[in-house]
Chain A
Amino acid sequence: MKYRFAALLLSMTALAGVASPASAAKFDIDPVHSGIAFYIDHLGFSKVIGVAQEFSGAFDFDASKPDASSLDVKVTVASISTNNKQRDGDIQSADWFNATEFPEITFVGKEFKKTTDTTGQIVGDLTIAGVTKSMTLDVTFNKEGQNPWDKSHVVGFSATTKVKRSDFGMKAALGMIGDEVDLVIQVEGREHQG
């Protein structure tokens, strides 16, 4: 009797597993293998490169149902570096990112659209210096699989977009320093454990 009950319980559990809809896996952004860089014009001569050194976030993703994804990212403003100490201090000021009042930049994905088998768009809310604007990320799905090193489940994307800093109230030195900022993002997500 005891064995029969255990077998029934086991089969019910297995059935429940089969019957339940496939849910998107939750991934944590791996900061070691991810990066956020931006390019901004300097007097037309060159594009200064900046990077965000501290960021975190998570996303839900199922390759068969990309439109059901979610994405939530936070970037620490104080970690933004342009490879120049003086300038890095300046961009923290009230004229620019205003790190004291707004220590984080956030992006929350709202709409996830598949455009081809490997590309898509994420429309979301980007908040910089207290101003929230809708932004569209052009995303390329790179790969999903097992990391041979630690056997973790990993998915990787590349993304690009352009934002206008003036949309976020950053109008300092507009004649000299470009308004349009190119963003280049590489993300590796590891499936959330526990």
Chain B
Amino acid sequence: MLGFGNSPQEALVAFLLAMTLVGILASSLVRRRSLARLTDLLMPAALLAAYWLTYNKVPPFPPVGAINKVFYLIAIGTAIGFAVEMAAPRAVRHLALLQPVAAALYIGAPRLGTASWEVALAAIVGMAVTGMVFLRGAGGAEDDVKRGGVVAVLALGFAPIALLGASSSSFQLCLMFAGGCFGILIIHATKPAFRFGGASAVGALGGLIAIADTVVLITRKADLIALAVLAMCLVLPIFSERVCRTLGLSRPFARLFVHVVLAALPAAAAFAVAYLDYGSSFPV
């Protein structure tokens, strides 16, 4: 990380705030100019910016090592996702489902042969995550904002798991990405005009899955219970519509709020599980 702030924690908070503010700014700019289609690029751009702020580099191509591969999975995934969204929107669903398989095979290549089943499991779980986030629910801007919100919560919830999985860089990366996402999405909270399309699904969500693959398959220090609890982030929001109906909430902001809170509850629980598992060795 670049060196400002009196402590690493302060520097991280400063970057987090900067990412959120830039997210708000970029999102407002794109929205004002009625470039709704381009909003699809905002979340992957936030992930690439967070990557650059974390590692201070654009890795050389072809990438060597999982950390460097992640950058190109995000960048190339974004470009392909956006292009397919423009050219053949129906193919995006298939592409989004293929990405976690490709990411698991690419990141987990050194484990093939010795732990192929772990790579296969990572691919299946990645597909399930993509399916739950991207393929569920209706189309339209409001649901796309909700999808973005769930991805942001997933990043936020995965950050402490990454930290305990011996990846302080992935921790920073996930936190900054989540900050950027919340900045981008808050602009669309009341009057949604956001697109969570091919670029967001393949570049941003797929990139986040690739980061998780790195911690789980390469560093191999993932807290599986915390990960299982975090997976509930994808399940609880299913009930958000029912909760909103019960509470009589109909405005987009309130519905989004309920949706994100339901996703955030398991993320908080995952953090608690990780914290309890590691106890005094939790690096705070």
Interface centre among B2, B64, B110 (most CB of A within 10 A): B64
- Minimum C-beta distance from A101 to chain B (A): 5
Number of interface residues, chain A, beta carbon within 8 A? 21
CB of B215 within 8 Å of the partner chain: yes
CB of B206 within 8 Å of the partner chain: no
Given A86-B281, A176-B8: A98 in contact with B168 (beta carbons within 8 A): no
Label chain A's interface by main secondary structure. Answer: loop
Interface centre among A93, A131, A171 (most CB of B within 10 A): A93
Inter-chain contacts of B219 with A (CB < 8 A): 92-95, 100
Inter-chain contacts of A172 with B (CB < 8 A): 168-169
Do B167 and A95 have beta carbons less than 8 Å apart? yes
Residue interface bits A161-175, CB-to-B below 8 A is 1, else 0: 000000001011111
Interface centre among B1, B3, B59, B65 (most CB of A within 10 A): B65
Inter-chain contacts of A176 with B (CB < 8 A): 8
Contact partner of B110 (CB less than 8 A), chosen from A95, A100, A129, A175, is A100
Q: Which residue of A lies closest to B215 (CB)?
A: A94
CB of A54 within 8 Å of the partner chain: no
Bound-complex Cα distance A174 to B104 (A): 29
Inter-chain contacts of B220 with A (CB < 8 A): 100
Given A93-B166, A95-B170, A175-B1: A169 in contact with B68 (beta carbons within 8 A): yes
CB of A120 within 8 Å of the partner chain: no
Interface centre among A86, A98, A101, A130 (most CB of B within 10 A): A101
Contact partner of B221 (CB less than 8 A), chosen from A93, A101, A169, A174, is A93
CB of B190 within 8 Å of the partner chain: no
Do A89 and B221 have beta carbons less than 8 Å apart? yes
Number of interface residues, chain B, beta carbon within 8 A? 30
Residue interface bits A159-194, CB-to-B below 8 A is 1, else 0: 000000000010111111000000000000000000
Inter-chain contacts of A175 with B (CB < 8 A): 1-3, 8, 11
CB of A90 within 8 Å of the partner chain: yes
Inter-chain contacts of B217 with A (CB < 8 A): 100
Interface centre among A93, A94, A101, A173 (most CB of B within 10 A): A94
- Minimum C-beta distance from B13 to chain A (A): 14
Contact partner of B65 (CB less than 8 A), chosen from A86, A92, A130, is A130
CB of A102 within 8 Å of the partner chain: yes
Do A93 and B167 have beta carbons less than 8 Å apart? yes
Inter-chain contacts of B168 with A (CB < 8 A): 90, 95, 172-173
Contacting A at CB under 8 A, from B152-185, are 165-170
Do B166 and A98 have beta carbons less than 8 Å apart? no
- Minimum C-beta distance from B175 to chain A (A): 15
CB of B125 within 8 Å of the partner chain: no
Bound-complex Cα distance A23 to B229 (A): 65
Residue interface bits A98-141, CB-to-B below 8 A is 1, else 0: 10111000000000000000000000000001110000000000
- Minimum C-beta distance from A104 to chain B (A): 13
Q: Which residue of B lies closest to A85 (CB)?
A: B281
Contact partner of A94 (CB less than 8 A), chosen from B1, B2, B3, B218, is B218
CB of B208 within 8 Å of the partner chain: no
Inter-chain contacts of B11 with A (CB < 8 A): 175
Do B1 and A169 have beta carbons less than 8 Å apart? no
The 7 A-B residue pairs with the shortest CB-CB distance in the complex, in nearest-first order: A93-B166, A130-B64, A93-B219, A175-B3, A90-B166, A94-B218, A101-B110
11 additional contacts (CB under 8 A) given A94-B67, A174-B1? A89-B221, A93-B166, A94-B214, A98-B65, A101-B65, A101-B66, A101-B218, A130-B64, A171-B56, A172-B168, A176-B8
Pairs across A and B, CB under 8 Å, 26 listed? A90-B168, A93-B165, A93-B167, A93-B218, A93-B219, A94-B66, A94-B167, A94-B218, A95-B166, A95-B167, A95-B168, A95-B169, A98-B66, A100-B111, A100-B220, A129-B64, A130-B65, A169-B57, A169-B59, A169-B64, A169-B67, A174-B1, A174-B3, A174-B56, A175-B2, A176-B8
